């Protein structure tokens, strides 16, 4: 009986999953040696692969580069026409070929040896030309491809990709690579934006900051709060030192307790000793402070507690920090 589309898909996934799990048994001293070579590398890590293995090599190079290991991909065809000049004796070259006999890569071996770069190979045959010519060989063999004809690189390329991920993440941990390090190489990504954006770059400042003196009538302070549209007003003394804050929430509480607010000054109803944040802090820290203390806004101050701006949850959302 002919298999359904769903059955075929499930078979592919099952075959690949089983092959990946078997890789665990091959994480041995060779893997440790490969990690040591990469960690001690004083130059770059160069990935080379042909065909489908080339696509996997590109992905591994990108993963290594984004996690603290300088790496790039070189096409084996271009390598023989000048791109070998990108490699020197301080580099480590990772060669990927399931058969271990790809002509385009094997032809490069004498030149790579002459350069004296270290070689790590990933193949499915430990007795192949590439495996025997390498300083370290990683076995990524699989019992069969997911292709029904056992021809199309599927399970084998997935195994090579997972082994590359294992190298990258092991190195990441060994180097103490942090989320901040990751953000520096991903400034356009969501994490990079969250960790690299400073309060100073998105806060309201200057004439846009709602500031009043403590002897100002509450009703007049509310006009300032409404005009600046930040849901708060900051209270400062004569030299702009932060004394307190008054928010929309504070207004509701004042109205609940007072039948008349005409004679009240903002200093009488402000929240003293309020939370604040310095302008040079990451914007994500401002969010964490607001989230922890159930706040919608924060004064922004300098090291001397002088008001330099204001920030609220809407500002953080506009900047896509949250």
Q: For 242-291, how does the pLDDT look when each residue is reduced to its tens digit (9 = 90+)?
A: 999 999 989 999 998 887 888 999 999 999 989 999 999 988 899 999 99
Counting residues of the chain whose pLDDT is more than 70, the rounded percentage is 95
Distance CA(169)–CA(99), nearest Å, equals: 26
Max distance between CA atoms of the chain, in angstroms, equals 91
Domains of the chain: 5-177 (3.40.50.10490), 199-318 (3.10.580.10)
Higher pLDDT, 88 or 187: 88
pLDDT of the residue at 312: 93
* Angle between helix 155-174 and helix 52-66 axes, rounded to 10 deg: 20
Name residues whose C-beta falls within 8 Å of residue 284's C-beta, 6 or more positions apart in sequence.
Answer: 194, 195, 197, 321
| pLDDT at 177 > cutoff 90 | no
Distance CA(181)–CA(192), nearest Å, equals: 9
The predicted-structure confidence for 56-77, as pLDDT tens digits, reads as follows: 999 999 999 988 899 999 999 9
- Cut 0.75: pTM above it: no
Beta bridge partners of 139: 123
Categorize the per-residue pLDDT at 190 as very low, low, confident or very high, splitting at 50, 70 and 90.
Answer: low
Distance CA(184)–CA(134), nearest Å, equals: 34
């Amino acid at each position: 009986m002919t298999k359904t589309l769903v059955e075929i898909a499930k078979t592919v996934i099952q075959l690949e999953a089983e092959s990946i799990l078997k890789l665990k048994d091959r994480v041995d001293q060779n893997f440790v040696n490969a990690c040591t070579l990469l960690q001690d590398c004083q130059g770059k890590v160069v990935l080379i692969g042909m065909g489908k293995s080339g696509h996997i090599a590109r992905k591994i190079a990108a993963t290594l580069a984004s996690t603290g290991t300088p790496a790039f991909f070189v096409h084996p065809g271009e390598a023989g026409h000048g791109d070998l000049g990108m490699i020197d004796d301080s580099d480590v070259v990772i060669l990927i070929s399931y058969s271990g006999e790809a002509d385009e890569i094997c032809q490069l071996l004498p030149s790579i040896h002459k350069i004296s770069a270290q070689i790590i190979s990933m193949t499915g045959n430990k007795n192949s030309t590439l495996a025997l010519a390498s300083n370290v060989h990683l076995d990524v063999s699989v019992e069969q491809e997911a292709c029904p004809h056992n021809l199309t690189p599927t399970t084998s390329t997935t195994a090579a990709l997972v082994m590359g991920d294992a190298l990258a993440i092991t190195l990441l941990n060994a180097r103490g690579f942090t989320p901040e390090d990751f953000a520096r190489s991903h400034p356009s990504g969501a994490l990079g934006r969250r960790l690299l954006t400073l309060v100073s770059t998105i806060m309201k400042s200057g004439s846009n900051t709602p500031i009043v003196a403590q002897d100002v009538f509450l009703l007049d302070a509310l006009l300032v709060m409404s005009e600046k549209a930040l849901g708060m007003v900051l209270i400062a003394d004569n030299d702009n030192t932060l004394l307190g804050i008054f928010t929309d929430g504070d207004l509701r509480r004042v109205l609940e307790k007072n039948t008349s607010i005409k004679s009240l000054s903002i200093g009488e109803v402000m929240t003293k000793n309020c939370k604040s944040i310095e302008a040079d802090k990451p914007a994500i820290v401002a969010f964490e402070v607001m989230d922890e203390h159930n706040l919608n806004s924060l004064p922004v101050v300098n090291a001397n507690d002088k008001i330099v701006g204001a920030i609220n949850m809407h500002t953080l959302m506009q900047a896509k920090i949250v």
